[in-house]
Structure 1
């Protein structure tokens, strides 16, 4: 697994990976780990951009020219992150991957596509989002 990580300004751990697509666009995924009321979440941010200066952290500015390739790439990274969490992440709280959308078009796509991979609509106090429960190292 090729994840890099850093601590953001709030002290939360951010795990990141990116790849340049054949069109020249870069796809980047970030998992920001933090705790809500009684659960730990890894909030997923997917960015597709041509130049790094075009994006601000954790915002989706453009979809790119690659169609569904970034989404398929991201789903593979989510699977890798689940394996990474089993060996590297320690948290006594129940852990979830959290996916939110920037607009209604993405909401329809995510709500239709992601439940096939175990995601469910839930609300842990920040509104309804898609969540998938994952196992961490201390929960196995």
Structure 2
């Protein structure tokens, strides 16, 4: 596992630790950090494979992996060849993202159930997106 991969996985571990210590809001935020770092790595590897300047420029946007707007979802479609908005976990991810935004921007309080759903969603959604990359990197 590359150093960047290990570094981003620490945020998922921290999300679980924060969840265990009943710091649900911070667990949701840490889960999102994990997701964005993992997706960014997928996109950067895809841009490298594409080998075009436009592809590398897409990954320079700091919010490209957040999937919070049309630009980031379009970048994912161009780089990963997948429409993230059509994935089965998209509605759950949007709900998670609204939780994260409520915590970060409004100081919202979250319950155990909400934090667990967010952690599970980002873990499963990232794994679903990572499957797209595997066939192209095996050979």
TM-score, scaled relative to structure 2: 0.28
More helix by proportion, 1 or 2? 2
More strand by proportion, 1 or 2? 1
TM-score, scaled relative to structure 1: 0.28
